[in-house]
Chains A and B, each alone.
Chain A
Amino acid sequence: DIQMTQSPSSLSASVGDRVTITCRASQSISSHLNWYQQIPGKAPKLLIYAASSLQSGVPSRFSGSGSGTDFTLTISSLQPEDFATYYCQQSYSTPITFGQGTRLEIK
Chain B
Amino acid sequence: QVQLVQSGAEVKKPGASVHVSCKASGYNFTGYYMHWVRQAPGQGLEWMGWINPNSGGTNYAQKFQGRVTMTRDTSISTAYMELSSLRSDDTAVYYCARVVYSNYGENLDYWGQGTLVTVSS
Decide yes or no whether A49 CB sits under 8 A from chain B.
yes
Chain A proximity mask over B62-84: 1 for CB below 8 Å, otherwise 0: 10000000000000000000000
**Which residues of chain A from 51 to 107 have a CB within 8 Å of any chain B CB?**
51, 53, 55, 87, 89-92, 94-101
B107 at the interface (CB under 8 A from A): yes
In the bound complex, do residue B114 and residue A43 qualify as a contact, i.e. CB atoms below 8 Å apart? yes
A50-B103, A95-B61, A96-B35 are known contacts. Are A55 and B109 too (CB-CB below 8 A)?
A: yes
> Given B45, B61, B104, B106, which contacts A44 in the complex, CB threshold below 8 Å?
B45
Per the CB 8 Å criterion, the residue count for chain B at the interface is: 22
B113 close to chain A: CB less than 8 A = yes
Closest chain-B Cβ to A53's Cβ sits at a distance in Å of 7
Interface membership of B54, Cβ < 8 A: no
> For chain A residues 22-56, which have a beta carbon within 8 Å of chain B?
30-34, 36, 43-46, 49-51, 53, 55
Please tell me if B26 contacts chain A, counting CB pairs below 8 Å.
no
- What is the CB-to-nearest-CB distance from B9 to chain A, in angstroms, rounded to a whole number? 13
Range class of the A interface residue count? 20 to 34
Given contacts A43-B95, A43-B111, A44-B111, contact A87 B105 (CB under 8 A): no
**Residues of chain A with a CB closer than 8 A to B114's CB:** 43
- Which residues in B have their C-beta under 8 angstroms from that of A34? 107-108
Q: In the complex, which of the residues B35, B104, B108 contacts A32, with contact meaning CB atoms closer than 8 Å?
A: B104
| CB neighbours of A87 from chain B (8 A) | 44-45
Name the contact of B105 in the complex, choosing from A36, A46, A91, A99 (C-beta under 8 A): A91
A-B contact pairs, 10 of them (CB 8 A): A32-B104, A34-B107, A36-B108, A43-B95, A44-B108, A44-B111, A98-B44, A98-B46, A99-B44, A101-B44
